[in-house]
Structure formats: C-alpha cells, structure tokens
Structure 1
Amino acid sequence: MKKKKTETHAALVSDPSNALEAATQAAYKAFANYQAPHGLLDVCTACCMDAELEREMRHLPLPQLTEKHFYQYNDSAKSQVQPADEIKYLAPRLLELLAEGARLHHSTELYLDRLGRCEPGSFSATEQAALQGFALAYFAQGLEQWPAASDSLFQGDNAFTILLMWAYARVPLEPLLQHWLDSDSDASTLNFVDACYWDYVWNANQMGNAFAADQAEYKRTMEEWLNRPATKARWAEKLLCLVDTGPTSSWLPAGAVDHQRYPLPERISAVFDAMTA
C-alpha cells in the first residue's frame, strides 16, 4: 500500500495535468449510468435561473453544458437535501468545467455545495473513489501554480479555500493534506505560506474563512492537522529549505502589489514564527 501511495504522489507531481484529465474521465465513467431528469431541476425558474437554460441542462448532451448553465444552477434557490440522481448525472460535467477554470458560483467555496447536500450514503464506493481521485488530482495541480492568479486553477483563491470547497462536497481532505505535506516543490510550499498568512489565526487556532463557520468537520480536520507536531516539523523543514535556497523564477515578481505591501520574506517569517512558537 505504501508503494502505491508513493507512485500516486509521484505521478501527480511529475504530470499533474495528465492526472487531472485522467481523473475527469474516471468521473465520467463512474457516473455514466445516470440519465438527465425528465422534470424540472431543483432550481427556481421564477427569479433565480433562466427557464431556457434549465431546459437545456436536461436536453443538451452533457458535454455541451457551459459555465453559464452551472453558475445559474448553483446560484439558484435549492432544496436543503439535493436529489442524488440529478446531481450524479451532472457531476462529471461540473468537475470537467472546474478543471477548465470555469466560474461556477459567486463564491468558490460553494462551487460543489450541491454534492454535499445529497443524503448520506447516496454515492457508491466507486463514485466516492472517483470524486476523491478528482479532488486529489485537482488539488495537486493547483498547488504547483504560484502565485494563484485569477487565471490559475485555484482562480486566485488560496489553498485553504479550495480545501473548504471540497469539504462542502463532503470529500475527505486527508489524502489532499498528505499529498501537500509530501510535496517538495517551492510552489506548494509558497501556497502553504499564503494560505496560512491570509486564512488561519495561529494564536486562536482558528480558520479565518467566514464560509467555514458552520463546517465543523472542516475546522476540526484543518486545525488538528496544522497543530500536529509532525506537520509543524515538516513545514518548518520546508520553509527553512525555501529560505536557504533563495528566490527562483517561480516566486512572486517584485512588482506585484502583494509583494510591495506584504513582502514575501515577511510572510514566510510570520508563518514560520507562528508555527514554531
């Protein structure tokens, strides 16, 4: 099992784009047996979603559905508990658009909210594995892009926001966190620096994102992971290595606004000091 995990990590690091494409195709395969709903989707066409777009989501071939369809679908009023068959029919295209960098809601954290609203036990083991595999491939590729510009896979959000998005989908975060900890790339470490600097209050042991307020499992997982001695030791090692190596071409350009207001060395030192205090 250890060898398989190591091989998976190596594949994600060496060719993350191919891993994400493979994960997308695996999602299509896992959810291939679901059909488009015959009746109205779980949306409000009175004021939230254009009626024609709703009709197209049931009648167009799944690969033809666009960012516009899913943005309105996700932003619409919806039932607290989602219809699993509807969600599972749409899931592969939703994930594919996510991999393409589509904007799927006004808030990144809620891109996959409908997935997490299905009844517990709605997803088979095969379907859960497809979601987990996609989440890992997506997260691994995004970690290798730094800074997280608006046109990057994380769309300008920090990595903790992306983890919260997957927490809303009820996808376990531990495999993603372990991959992050195992990664040796400068980009993944710098993504950790920015996520901690902007979105975690060390002295209060508290996640800073307002969307995490009612996500108790997310907060528990993240806060426990961040304060685990082995986690702190590993990140301290990687941060020291980053500082010793010095800037490379992948680091934030000196002219960027964030670098002027909050210099990167200051951010690295602040995270290191807070984590090792």
Structure 2
Amino acid sequence: MKEIIKTAYRIFSKYKAARPLDICTECCMNINNEALLASLPVHDIPKDLLGKYNDEASTGKTPISELKHFLPRYIELASHFQFPSHSPELSFKRLTPFDKSEWTSAELTFLNRFSLEYFKYCLSIYPLPTEYEGIDSILIMLWLGSFDIDTLLE
C-alpha cells in the first residue's frame, strides 16, 4: 500500500484547493478550520479535520480540483484503516457525483489499481484491524465511492 499512497500523492499533486472550500461554514465547520484545511499540506491534514469536511454539509458536488487535491489523504487514511468519516462506508462519498469524463486516463487507471490493491490487501490481512468492521464495509465504501466493485468481486 505504500507504493499506492506515494503514487496517489504524485498523480494528484498538481491540484490545489481554493477557498472557499465546499463546506458549510455557517454552522458545520468553523471558518478557521476551513482556512486551516485549505492551507495545510495534504499529507499533514488530521483525520478528524478531513472527516469533518467529508461528513458535513456541502453543495453535493465538490469542485473536481478540490476533491482531487484531498484524495491522496483520503486514500492514505483508508489504507491505514483510519477512515475519514463517522462510518467507513462513507469515506469516499464525495467521489459519487463525478463522471468518468472528469478524470484523466492516468487518474482512472490509478483509481482502479487502488481499489483492487486495497481490496486484495484487506483480504490478505483479514480479519481487518478495526474491531467493528468487516469486509462488507470495505466493499460498500468502494461501491459508494463509484469504484468498480464488479472486478473486485470476480
């Protein structure tokens, strides 16, 4: 998984998050935390801060460059079973509204590789190192994130 994580940071390094971020700062996230989230290097974003961003109110379709900016950290956290959400299944929910045409060929290839390698990794260490999660949570997480789970199930 280390190589997958390094590749994620390399592929998505060109994307930046522009303020205001796609998060409610009226009541969901403090404006100072929104500013902190936008300014931190991606690999330094705390799980709880990214989790708040992931779980709180947004427009429903985050700008694609903002999503791609944060995506390596989502992948890194999930790879260590430190899910950036109150529920592992929702960890990649911000990916759902995007069409494949909004991704480069290299990005799509990487996302497919990530989902396959991550699922194989989960199977290789099963039972998972989280006391309440089973392999079904991982499958649902990937499915809700619009990853191709048909290939995983085969």
Structure 2-normalised TM-score? 0.90
Identify the residue that residue 47 of structure 1 maps to in structure 2.
27
Identify the residue that residue 16 of structure 2 maps to in structure 1.
35
Runs of 4 or more consecutive aligned structure 1 residues displaced over 4 Å after TM superposition = none
Q: Could you give the per-residue CA deviations for residues 82-126 of structure 1, whole angstroms, max 9, x where no partner exists?
A: 211100011011111111221311121111000122344211111
1:147 has 2:127 as partner: yes
Aligned length: 154
Larger Rg: 1
Identify the residue that residue 86 of structure 1 maps to in structure 2.
66
Q: Which runs of 5+ in 2 are unaligned?
A: none
Q: Which runs of 5+ in 1 are unaligned?
A: 1-19, 179-277
Q: Provide the alpha-carbon RMSD of the alignment.
A: 1.6
1:21 has 2:9 as partner: no
Contact 1:48 1:75 in 2 (8 A): no
Q: Could you give the per-residue CA deviations for residues 243-268 of structure 1, whole angstroms, max 9, x where no partner exists?
A: xxxxxxxxxxxxxxxxxxxxxxxxxx
Identify the residue that residue 136 of structure 2 maps to in structure 1.
160
1: distance between equivalents of 2:48 and 2:78? 13
> Given the superposition, is the C-alpha separation of residues 60 and 149 from structure 1 closer, same or farther in structure 2, using an over 3 Å criterion?
closer
> Given the superposition, is the C-alpha separation of residues 119 and 40 from structure 1 closer, same or farther in structure 2, using an over 3 Å criterion?
farther
Q: Could you give the per-residue CA deviations for residues 27-55 of structure 1, whole angstroms, max 9, x where no partner exists?
A: 11221211221x21110112212322211
Instruction: Using the aligned pairs only, state the percent identity.
Output: 29
Q: Could you give the per-residue CA deviations for residues 208-266 of structure 1, whole angstroms, max 9, x where no partner exists?
A: xxxxxxxxxxxxxxxxxxxxxxxxxxxxxxxxxxxxxxxxxxxxxxxxxxxxxxxxxxx
> Given the superposition, is the C-alpha separation of residues 89 and 120 from structure 1 closer, same or farther in structure 2, using an over 3 Å criterion?
same
Task: Determine helix, strand or coil for the equivalent of 1:77.
Answer: coil
1:145 positional shift: 2.4
Q: What is the aligned counterpart of 1:111 among 88, 91, 112?
A: 91
The one-letter amino acid paired with 1:80 is G
